[in-house]
Amino acid sequence: MDGLLFLAHRIPFPPNKGDKIRSFHLLRHLSTRHAIHLGAFVDDPDDWQYRDALKPYCASIKLVPLHPRRARLRSVSGLLTGEALTLPYYRSAALARWAEALAREGTVTGGLAFSSAMAQSMPPTLARRVLDMVDVDSDKWAQYAPTRRWPLSCIYAREARKLAAWEARVAETFDATLLVSPEEARLLQQRAPAARDRIAAFENGVDADYFSPERDYPNPYAADVRAVVFTGAMDYWPNVDAVTWFAEHVFPAVREAVPTAQFTIVGSRPSDAVHALGRRPGVVVTGSVADVRPWIAHAACAVAPLRIARGVQNKVLEAMAMARPVVVTPQAAEGIRGAPGREFDLALDEPGLVRSVVARLLSPAANLLGRDCILARYDWGRNVAAVDALFTAPPAVLPDSETCPA
């Protein structure tokens, strides 16, 4: 098999959060066709234990420690160089030298960079270079800016501009650029028109067998609880903002209508702000759990009340796979190829969220149409196979395609 360089901004294991789920399934699939040489950062000390779990998929592995506090200090150099702060944050001379050596020796002939920041470490001499940008991250920073006070508002607005310029630049220099949804792909096409025909969407999938509603999961809730669940990494600002807004502005009205309602926030590394929500009536913060499925399976409904979002929300897909009703905001619905009102509930504002959640609590029922949507449209094996042609022939990515052409 030919050698393929795979660079990721975070070790792609365990597949327990959005970017790791996507990067792991991509890596695992590509490893059946290429000798993978993986280079990645490790930003959580607990993740070092998973190096051996990646060995079956990789010919070699180069893991580089990333200390978030040091990386933030390093990113300040971007203010002097005029670049996006994201780039020095994810810059490693050791990783770049390792990648260059593999290319120079002919060990790898192609490469995939996972996230726009990793494009800076991809050797330009490789015959085939593919970028999985996942999301147009610059737009996320643009959404952040109005939510913060000065000086953060100015820093975030600057990051949005600088990162947008970088995203357009690398899209024009790579052979193909992939994003998580057609909406994300169209946004980048508008910003990088010269690369329009080399930009397309490769959609996420769900392990529908793992997230099956058919298993007998232990009930983690008290017998009299009507559970509303949110799942996600709870040190991620859009998630923090979502649960804070829901707990403070939506859930009190839900609990007034349904006194046994409980808003359960399930996810690792809850911030201080999230921990504080646990002191509110009817709100429970679990922190990290061994298995998220019981919390979803026994909930009356899942919610994704995101106000800031990019791409497709795995939390929504997983709840749909488990046949749970899911109430989402327009931001959380982006990229979900399902019908609002049939496969998920769409709420446009706070009163809409209250109405939808209360309705689900009072009339609980499985949402089998949501699971049918996952089975039909979000199969990892089928979706990820569309990437193969990008490493074997000149890419033929269509501007309006929903997935990469096979």
Confidence of residue 393 (pLDDT cuts 50, 70, 90): low
Domain count, the chain: 2
Is 170 domain-assigned? yes
pLDDT 10s digits, 21-79: 999 999 999 999 999 999 999 999 999 999 999 999 999 999 999 999 999 999 999 99
Asked if 241 and 308 count as a contact pair (C-beta separation under 8 A), the reply is yes
**How many distinct helices (H) and strands (E) make up the chain?**
18, 13
Whether residue 40 is found in the same domain as residue 78 = yes
Residue 155, token pair as written in the block: 């820093």
Is 211 domain-assigned? no
Is 401 domain-assigned? no
State what percent of residues in the chain have pLDDT above 70: 97
pLDDT 10s digits, 308-328: 987 889 999 999 999 999 999
Whether residue 144 is found in the same domain as residue 282 = no
Is 154 domain-assigned? yes
| Dihedral sign of CA atoms 91, 92, 98, 104 in order | positive
Residues 6+ apart with CB under 8 A from 64: 39, 40, 41, 42, 92, 94, 95
Whether residue 51 is found in the same domain as residue 152 = yes
Q: Which ranges in 131-283 belong to alpha helices (H)? A: 137-144, 152-173, 182-191, 237-245, 251-257, 272-277
Whether residue 345 is found in the same domain as residue 295 = yes
pLDDT 10s digits, 66-92: 999 999 999 999 999 999 999 999 999
Whether residue 338 is found in the same domain as residue 313 = yes
Whether residue 200 is found in the same domain as residue 254 = no
Whether residue 239 is found in the same domain as residue 347 = yes
Is 139 domain-assigned? yes
CA pair distance 303, 327, nearest whole angstrom: 5
pLDDT at 396 over 70: no
pLDDT 10s digits, 174-197: 999 999 999 999 999 999 999 999
Closest CA to 346 of 360, 366, 370, 327: 327
Residue 14, preceding bond cis, omega within 30 degrees? yes
Which domain range does residue 341 map to? Answer: 226-377
Q: What pLDDT sits at residue 16? A: 85
Closest CA to 135 of 328, 309, 330, 7: 309
Is 82 domain-assigned? yes
Whether residue 96 is found in the same domain as residue 200 = yes
CATH label of the domain that carries residue 146: 3.40.50.11720
Whether residue 176 is found in the same domain as residue 132 = yes
